[in-house]
Amino acid sequence: MQVKRLLALSDNYIFLLHDREQNTAAVVDPAEARPVLRCLETLGAELVAIFNTHHHGDHVGGNRELIQHFPNLCVYGGAEDRGRIPGQHVFLQEGDRVEFAGRVAEIFFVPGHTRAHIAYYFPRATAGDPGELFCGDTLFAGGCGRLFEGTPAQMVDSLSKLRALPDNTRVWCAHEYTQKNLQFALTVDPQNSDLQTRYRQVQDARQRGEATVPSLLGMEKRTNPFLRWDDRALQSVANSNDPVRVFGRLRGMKDLF
């Protein structure tokens, strides 16, 4: 399974999964159809599935047009997004599994950004390979999604599930927000040397016009403040050692940043 990153809208990423043996494809969160159709034409591949993480328009905006081109494809989404994702056929819950290109992804229910958000995790295929996490707007490189329909407690629980995955997991998040996220992270965690180094590397990458997605989960665990509610420096910023209070304080600060 090969993952192709497609740029959409102003800062969205669409991820096209290509089964090179069968020459079929699945797409994660198609914000719009055109980039997907262009990539499929280049590959000569047939689209067989859409994997949606949540119902927001910048994640499902291309569904209807893609269904028009490939009427037999299957549209997946969270069970609690019933009626909110165009063309949805399959309603996924925590612990369900989906298969593509001989790989089996586990479904995580990760509410917080929305009440029905899910993530797709493909464990590594062979020793030494990375796992693949498609997490929509729950976890970002250097950050996390805003709480539009959920609570800090839900988001901490959701992020805890993702944080428990292996360090060698590629985080395919849906937006190019990394530089701004790390700018904020430095305001609450200025002594973190890993964070300082990462910010410099991201600055250089963006100046060259390079994407910063995917990131590695191991790096997120060291530098992303929204995965580090048990770090003493961040607990000091939040004036609490309660995970939900620490997270909630940091998220509130980021909302105003």
Tokens standing for 21? 């043996």
Residue 137 designated active-site: yes
Output the known binding site for Zn(2+): 54, 56, 58-59, 113, 137, 175
pLDDT in single tens digits along all 257 residues of the chain: 999 999 999 999 999 999 999 999 999 999 999 999 999 999 999 999 999 999 999 999 999 999 999 999 999 999 999 999 999 999 999 999 999 999 999 999 999 999 999 999 999 988 889 999 999 999 999 999 999 999 999 999 999 999 999 999 999 999 999 999 999 999 999 999 999 999 999 999 999 999 999 999 999 999 999 999 999 999 999 999 999 999 999 999 999 99
- List residues forming the annotated binding site: 54, 56, 58-59, 113, 137, 175
C-alpha–C-alpha distance, residues 157 and 152, integer Å: 9
18 has catalytic annotation: no
Strands ordered across the beta sheet of 169-173 = 97-100, 103-109, 118-122, 131-136, 169-173, 215-216
DSSP summary character for residue 214: S
Whichever domain contains 91, its CATH number is 3.60.15.10
Give the chain's domain count: 1
Tell me, yes or no, if 59 is annotated catalytic.
yes
175 is catalytic: yes
Predicted TM-score (pTM) of the model is: 0.96
* Helices 193-207, 178-188: inter-axial angle, 10-degree rounding: 150
- The residue segments making up the domain with residue 52 are 2-255
**Residue 207 has which token pair?**
């100046």
DSSP H or E stretch at residue 157: helix 152-163
In the set 19, 58, 81, 189, the catalytic residue is 58
